[in-house]
Amino acid sequence: MDTTVIQQDIAQADAVNALAEALGPKGLLRDHGDCDRYASDQSGLLGDRPVAVLRPASTEDVSRALAICSQYRIGVVPQGGRTGLSGGACSPQGAVVLSTERMSGVVEIDREAMTLTALAGTPLEAVQDAARAAGLDYPVDIGARGSATIGGTIATNAGGIRVLQHGMTRANVLGLEAVLADGSVVSRLGKTVKDNSGFDLKQLFIGSEGTLGVVTKAVLQLRRHVPQSALALFALPNHAAALACLAAARQRFGTRIRAFEGMWPDYWDFVCHETSLATAPIAGRHGFYLLIEVEAEAAETNEELEMFFAELFEQGLVEDGVLAKSLAEMQALWSVREAVGEVDDDFGHHVNFDIGVSPSDLGAFCDAADAVLATLPDALGVLKVGHVGDGNVHLLVAHNGSSAAEDQVEAAIYGLLREWQGAVTAEHGVGRIKSRWLGHCRSPEELALMRGLKAQMDPLGILNPSALFMPEDI
Amino acid sequence: MDTTVIQQDIAQADAVNALAEALGPKGLLRDHGDCDRYASDQSGLLGDRPVAVLRPASTEDVSRALAICSQYRIGVVPQGGRTGLSGGACSPQGAVVLSTERMSGVVEIDREAMTLTALAGTPLEAVQDAARAAGLDYPVDIGARGSATIGGTIATNAGGIRVLQHGMTRANVLGLEAVLADGSVVSRLGKTVKDNSGFDLKQLFIGSEGTLGVVTKAVLQLRRHVPQSALALFALPNHAAALACLAAARQRFGTRIRAFEGMWPDYWDFVCHETSLATAPIAGRHGFYLLIEVEAEAAETNEELEMFFAELFEQGLVEDGVLAKSLAEMQALWSVREAVGEVDDDFGHHVNFDIGVSPSDLGAFCDAADAVLATLPDALGVLKVGHVGDGNVHLLVAHNGSSAAEDQVEAAIYGLLREWQGAVTAEHGVGRIKSRWLGHCRSPEELALMRGLKAQMDPLGILNPSALFMPEDI
C-alpha cells in the first residue's frame, strides 16, 4: 500500500466523519452489510460497496453533504429507487451513495393549478395515488412504479407507455429544486408552464442522470383523470401497416390514444409459443402485433375501436383483432406486452437495447438489425418489442454469454444506429453501460459541449462520477 | 477620440471586411440606411445602428460569421422577424446584427413521424401553412405569425393562445441545430420525443434569447389538424368563477380546450365602451369575461358548449354567455380579446407587463396589483387581459409618460411579483427591457448558475451582449 492510497483512505475517513456529523445518526450508514444493499441498481451491473450511504432528510442536509463531498473531493452517486436499467445508480470505487429515501412525501396538491409538489424520494406510485385521490392523474408510468422515485424518474427523464399521450417526464415537470456539487441550492418551484424569465435551469437536471445536480423537490403537472379506457390487440401484416394504423388512429382519436405498443413476431412467438410467459389472444401467424389503448371519454369507445378495426380490416391493414370486454381481458392483453419483463430466465444471456429512431424509420431499422444480426455467428436470437409511436424499440439479442459476443452484438447494433442517426438510449438512460457508445449518436461538438457543461457545474467531477461520461472524458 | 477608440474602430472595420469576404456580396449590408432597418424590434426600445447586418445563407455561413466575430470580439445580435416585445433583438452600440432572413424554407415534412423540418428564418405562418397542406398542424400561434420566424420563436420560447393545449414552443421542438459563439455547430435533428442519450442540449438554446447560440434549423412536432372548433364567450361574477369554469371545462373537454382566455372588466370596458376598439358581444357589467374555444371533434360540440353553459349557469358560475354560430361570429368574439394589440394609441403611455404566477394565484395577484396601483398617484389606469389556464396576465398600466412614473409602476408591480414568487415574463422574454428586474424572480443561486453557463458557452460574451443579463453581470 503506497502513501497515496493511505492518504486517500485518511481523507475518506475524514470525509465520512464530517458527513456523519452533518447528517446525524439516521443520516449515514457505514456498516458493510448496509452499504452493500446500495451498491447496485437493476441493470445487472455490480457496483462497488460505497464508502458510506448518505440518507439526508432535507434539502439542507443534501446541501451540507455535497459541500463536504466537494471539500474532500469524494464522488457521490445519487440514488432513488435503484430501479434503473443502465447502471446509473451503481457505485464506483471510493464513492458515497446519496439516497433520497428519507425525503419522501407529497407536500401539496393544488387542484386549481393542477399541480402536485413532492419530495425527491417519493415513490412514483405514491404520487400517482395521491393525484388520483384528488381526482387527477400523474401520467408518467413505468413498470417499476412501486420502487422508482420521483427524483429518479426526473434525473433519468423516465418514459414508459404513455409518452405518446403526455410526453416524457420532462414534459410533466413544472418546477424543480436541485442541489449543485458545491452545495448551493437552485430552486424554482413555480406552478406554471409559462415562464421565460431567463434560462430554464430545470432542463439541465432532468435526464442528466445526477451528473449535474441532485434533485430534491419537484412541482409536477397533473392531468385530468380519465378512469375508463378501451383496449384492443390487432394482428397486422407488417410494421408498415402499423404506421398506417397509427396515422389513422391519430386522426380518429387524437390525444386520446393512451398507448400504441408494437410487438414483432419474434417476440410474440417467444412469449406465447416458445415459452408460456403469455397466452396468445390471437391465433395464427402474423407479421406484426399492436396493442392500442384509447381513453374512453364516452361509453361508445369500445364501439369506436370496433369500427376502427372494421375500417382498417377493409383496407387490408389489419388481419385479425380482439377487443377487451372486461378488466380481466384488458389484463390478459397487456400481459403479452408486459411479458418482456420476464424473458430473462428463458432467453438466456442477452443484450437489452433501448434504441430510438425516427418513428418513420423504426420498421426499416428493425429489418436492418435482423439482417446484420443474421451475419453474426454468436448472435443467437432477437426479440423486438416497443413503442411504435415514439420510435423506440427494445431489441433483446441473445448471445453465447462471452464478453466477445456481447461486444460483437453491441458493435453491430450501435454501428447500424449510427447510420440511422438514432439514439443509443431512448428512455433507459446512458448510465454506466452505454457511455462507451454515446459517441455513436452524439457528435464531437455535442460531446464537447456536454463536457463543458459538466466542467462548469461540477468542476471537481464529484457528481455520479462513473455515469454518462467515459472516465477519460472528465 | 482616444487611441482605444481608434483601435476599436480599426478592429471593427477589419471584422466587417472579414465578414464581407466570408459571406459574399448578398451576405452583408453596411449601408447606413440598410443597417438602420435592423436596429430595433417591436418593443418600442430604439436600438443603435448595427455596424453591419450579416445575412448568412446557410449554417456554414453562420459558423464562419460567428468564428470571425469571436476572433474580433464583436457583439452579434441574432434576429428573426424582429417582432419581439422585450428588446431582445435591438442592437447595442458596436455590434453586428445576424439576420436569418436568407435561411428560410421548409426542408421536409415527415407524415409518419409527424414532423416538419425548417430553416430558422422560415416565418411561423409558412410553417403553419405547410403543416396544414399536409393535413397536419403546428400549434404554436402568436399574433405576429406572419413576420415572426421559427428561429425567433424557438430562441424566445414563444407562447401564445394555445399553450394550454400544446405547451410553449419548447414542447413542440424535437430536434435543433445551433451554432455556438466560437462557430462550432451543435446539431441534433432527431425526430423522436424519446432520446435520453446524454444531455438534452437543445433546451439550452430554446428560450435563452440568442445568448447561448444561434438557432439555424429545427425539427418540429406536428399535431393532428382539427379544422373545426366551437367558441363561446361567458360573463362571470369574478375570476374565482373562471377558475371553477376551467376545472369544469378540463373535466368535460380534456385536451380539446384550445383556448381559455380571460378579460378583466377594466380591459373589457376600455375596448368595448371607453373606445370603439371592439363591440361588446354581451351587455351589462360583469366581474370577468372568458373566451373558450374547444376543438370540435364531433358535430355536437356547439351543443356541448351550450350544455356546459347551462350547467355553469345553474351553479351561479356564469351570468351570461354567447356562442358563435358562424365564422363571422367567431371572429367577432375573438376581436374583443385581440383588441389588446390596438390599445396603444388610446391608452397613452403605459407599461406592458407579461406576468406569470401560479394559475391558482392569478386572481389574487391581480387584486393585489389593483390595490398597489391605486396608491400610486402617477399610475393612471390598468387593463388586465390574459391566459387564465396558464397563470399569465398582460397587465397594461398607464402613467404620465415620465421615466420616474414608469420606474414607480415597474417597481410596484415587480415588487409584488417577488412576494408572489412569479415570473417577470411569462412569454415575451427578458430581452433588454426586463433584465434589471430578473433578480425579482430568480434567486442569487439561479442567477449565478445562469452566468456560469453563459461564461462557459460564450466566454467572450459576444452573443446578444445586451440581452437577458445586466451589463455588469457578464
- pLDDT at B197 (0 to 100): 97
Q: Which of A192, A441, A455 sits opposite B426 (nearest CB)?
A: A192
Residue B255 has pLDDT above 60, yes or no: yes
Contact A397, A350 (CB under 8 A): yes
Q: What angle separates helix A59-72 from helix A3-23, to the nearest 10 degrees?
A: 160
Q: Looking at chain A, which residue has its C-alpha nearest residue B363?
A: A112
Enumerate domains of chain A plus CATH numbers: 3-102 (3.30.43.10), 106-224 (3.30.465.10), 229-341 (3.30.70.2190), 348-431 (3.30.70.2740)
Neighbouring-strand partners of residue B33? none
Q: Which of B159, B168, B449 sits opposite A186 (nearest CB)?
A: B449
Cβ <8 Å between A423 and B190: yes
Cβ <8 Å between A159 and B196: yes
- Judged on CB neighbours under 10 Å (0-12, 13-18, 19+), A32 is exposed
What mean pLDDT comes out for the span B215-227? 95
Q: Which residues in chain B are closer than 8 Å to A168, comparing Cβ atoms?
A: 193-194
Listed residue (B272, B285, B59, B30) closest to B178, CA to CA: B59
Q: Which of A427, A446, A452 sits opposite B456 (nearest CB)?
A: A452
Mean pLDDT for back-to-back runs of 10 residues, chain A (474 residues)? 70 94 97 97 95 98 98 97 96 97 98 96 98 96 95 96 93 98 97 95 98 98 92 97 95 90 97 96 96 82 90 96 94 95 92 95 96 95 94 96 95 94 95 96 97 98 94 64
**b/e string for A452-461 if b means 16 or more Cβ within 10 A?**
ebbebbbebb
3-class secondary-structure state, position B8: helix
Instruction: Write out the three cell numbers for B431.
Output: 430581452
Cβ <8 Å between B224 and A456: no
Contact A152, A81 (CB under 8 A): yes
Q: Which residues in chain A are closer than 8 Å to B474, comparing Cβ atoms?
A: none
Neighbouring-strand partners of residue A51? none
Residue B144 has pLDDT above 90, yes or no: yes
pLDDT per position as a tens digit, A17-74: 999 999 999 999 999 999 999 999 999 999 999 999 999 999 999 999 999 999 999 9
What mean pLDDT comes out for the span B87-96? 96
Neighbouring-strand partners of residue B234? B290, B321
- pLDDT at A255 (0 to 100): 85
Exposure of B391 in the CB half-sphere (CA atoms within 13 A) = 28
Instruction: Write out the three cell numbers for B45.
Output: 426600445
pLDDT per position as a tens digit, B259-310: 999 999 999 999 999 999 999 999 999 999 999 999 986 666 788 899 999 9
Cβ <8 Å between B357 and A192: yes
Q: Which residues in chain A are closer than 8 Å to B455, comparing Cβ atoms?
A: 456
Quote the mean pLDDT of chain B. Answer: 94
Listed residue (A99, A57, A91) closest to A74, CA to CA: A91
d(CA B385, CA B242): 13
Q: How far is CA B358 from CA A221, B366, B446, in A?
A: 12, 12, 19
Q: Which residues in chain B are closer than 8 Å to A204, comparing Cβ atoms?
A: 199, 203
- pLDDT at A298 (0 to 100): 63
- pLDDT at B474 (0 to 100): 56
Q: Which residue type sits at B298?
A: A
Listed residue (A222, A113, A193) closest to B356, CA to CA: A193
Q: Which residues in chain A are closer than 8 Å to B115, comparing Cβ atoms?
A: 358
Q: Which of B190, B193, B356 sits opposite A195 (nearest CB)?
A: B356
Q: Which of A168, A226, A450 sits opposite B199 (nearest CB)?
A: A450
Q: Which residues contact B297 (CB under 8 A, 6 or more apart)?
A: A254, B226, B256
d(CA B206, CA B173): 9
Cβ <8 Å between B203 and A204: yes
pLDDT per position as a tens digit, B354-406: 999 999 999 999 999 999 999 999 999 999 999 998 999 999 999 999 999 99
Cβ <8 Å between A163 and B194: yes
Sequence-ordered strand ranges (E) for A286-399: 288-295, 320-323, 350-356, 379-387, 392-399
Cβ <8 Å between A194 and B159: yes
- pLDDT at A156 (0 to 100): 98
